[in-house]
A and B are shown apart, each in its own frame.
Chain A
Amino acid sequence: MATPIGPLDYTRRLWVRLTLLVVFVFLYAPIATLIAFSFNDSRRNIVWNGFTLKYYEKALGNEGLIEAFANSLTIAVLSTLVSIVLGALVAVLLWRFRFPGKAGYEGVVALPIVIPEICMGVAMLAFFSRIGWPSDMVWPFNLSAIIIAHVSFSFPFVAVVVRARLEGFNRELAEAAQDLGATEWQVFRDVMIPFLRPGLVAGGMLAFTLSLDDFVITFFTSGPNTVTFPVKVYSMVRFSVTPEVNAASTVLIVVTVVMTAAALWMQHRAGMKAEEAAG
């Protein structure tokens, strides 16, 4: 028996459903087409000519693309590690201490989150060229400028995530450890870090995605020998739409979706564990 549509059943109303449909088609159709046509045996991308993996082979054979991909992953991993450390320190500092000028300090920490990417990009460009940061070092130090720039915009995000986690911390746990004779360092290592782990993982995932995703700031800090994946794709896209770019993009989409799924799953599991522990 069909239940009649109640006055607040907005989800079952036609106009809402139509909007939902339009929005989801709008959000997903381009990505879906991109993925589908990376397997299409035609350069023109419009008509389905049969399944092929040749563009994946081509992308794999494109040394420039592979190098850019490797650079992107290296930058993401290294900048994420530094961001986690710095972000966690800021979060603990703001959570634990009262100090003069704290409100202003918090504002400055949030600044990299709010200022336009382009402003941050040109600031990094001006800075590194002004101080003459060497660009001819060996791998991975040739990527240092990009890594530094990525850390600067991602560690405040890590700080936000970790601080949210800290709000749920029971200070009595730290006090209990101290009461049992633990030093500051031991309390941090044995009590705080284990508690913060889900926050550190979530913050790290966010930093990793932000780094992998960034185009604008990298665009201003990368040189001819330090091309990242987005920068490479950008230069390819400027000329034409090719199935090869489709294939490379599909790989990156799959990588990020798998990572996101893993992160969500880990958070979910951590949540379940916390519930078990509480219940």
Chain B
Amino acid sequence: MSTEQEVGETPVGETPIIEIAGLSKHYGSVTAVDDVDLTIRRGEFFALLGPSGCGKTTLLRMLAGLELPTAGTIRIDGQDMSAVPANRRPVNMVFQSYAVFPHMTVRDNVAYGLKVDGVPRQEAYRRAEEALELVKLGGYGPRRPDQLSGGQRQRVALARALVKRPKVLLLDEPLSALDAKLREQMRFELVNLQESVGITFVVVTHDQDEALSMASRIAVMDHGRVQQTAPPAELYEFPRTKFVADFIGSVNLIEGTVEASDDGLVRLSAPALQVPVEIEQASGLPAGSTGWLALRPEKVDISREPPDDAGRNTVAGTVEEITYLGDVSIFHVRLTADQPLIKVTIANLDRVTRRPFTWGDRVHLSWAPTCGVVLAQ
């Protein structure tokens, strides 16, 4: 295995392994994937994130050659895939249902891809056993799939794909069929596995926690289009669209009008806020245009008295709802009548009986200009 590991020796994130240009897929009048351009770099753990029906699985299946694009091109390692059928592509897939062949033993499942490539039986079985050890299923070779748990079957599917040393490993909702505990554990294992084999992983998921915790970069998709491609932290802190801001984590979206925008400072007035607020951000918006303030609930501070720091954006309101979630509580604060409530998350540092605020309290909300972003769309 070590002799073929040139993929792993290439530095991560330097050269592209997958280049997607103008890719579209229509089913009759339905558009599943709409003019997508995307570059995935060698050796990275890439996630395609989005709600169900956003086209992420279709995109993944087009990479595998299981769906053929209506328009656009896919290059894998510089080679155009248009005329390459699924069985000749240098990628392998872990299916959502795992698709472990029920009529073959675990060993025959893992060796299948090698055997169809003409690898002699003994050699295929030896490498299958190595792959099984890699996914911690050493010695499971003679078992039949119906004797395995769901988690074990997934490992078989992983081993079966990895044993072929693909240039890219595709994973379709790999954790969705596992229970919560196992899911958490598998996240770590997948990341470790990816680091140890050095193969590019492309994972499709609808679970933002999964994407944020595993991926080095994430593409957020909606309605067949890629909304934003960025590392997890950038995606969370600097969403480019309302959809991304709303889809990842919890957010207050406040509609307003841009009053001024210069020197990396955007000034926004909104009916929901009593006073105009100022946000530091590099990309300016034209004055007079509509903008949305995206403000994360945990970045807002709540206090009885207005904060001393005049540099902070400060508004006043009344606590209307409190949702207790154990580790945190969410305060829903009314700033102006007939306008949406603002959510504020406060860590429950003390016992809940000693909550500092309660229903109907007058409070002040404040946040630094470096918190939140103003979005144009």
Contacts and interface: CB of A to CB of B under 8 A. Distances in A.
B197 interface: no
A4 B68 contact: yes
A100 interface: no
Contacts, number: 19
A6 B67 contact: yes
A7 B88 CA distance: 12
A3 interface: yes
A23 B85 CA distance: 30
A7 B70 contact: no
B26 A8 contact: no
A1 B72 CA distance: 13
Interface residues of A, number: 7
Interface residues of B, number: 11
A4 B68 CA distance: 6
Contact of B65 (A3, A5, A7): A7
B86 interface: yes
B68 A6 contact: yes
Nearest to B62: A6
A7 B26 contact: no
A1 B68 contact: no
Contact of A7 (B27, B69, B71, B86): B86
Nearest to A1: B70
A148 B26 CA distance: 60
Interface string B100-142: 0000000000000000000000000000000000000000000
B129 to A, nearest CB: 30
A7 B89 CA distance: 13
A3 B71 CA distance: 10
Contacts of B67: 6
Contacts of A4: 68-70
Interface string B195-239: 000000000000000000000000000000000000000000000
A8 B68 contact: no
19 contacts: A1-B26, A1-B70, A1-B71, A3-B26, A3-B27, A3-B68, A3-B70, A4-B68, A4-B69, A4-B70, A5-B68, A6-B66, A6-B67, A6-B68, A7-B65, A7-B66, A7-B85, A7-B86, A8-B66
* 3 tightest Cβ-Cβ pairs between the two chains A and B: A4-B68, A7-B86, A6-B68
Given A3-B27, A3-B68, A4-B68, 15 more contacts: A1-B26, A1-B70, A1-B71, A3-B26, A3-B70, A4-B69, A4-B70, A5-B68, A6-B66, A6-B68, A7-B65, A7-B66, A7-B85, A7-B86, A8-B66
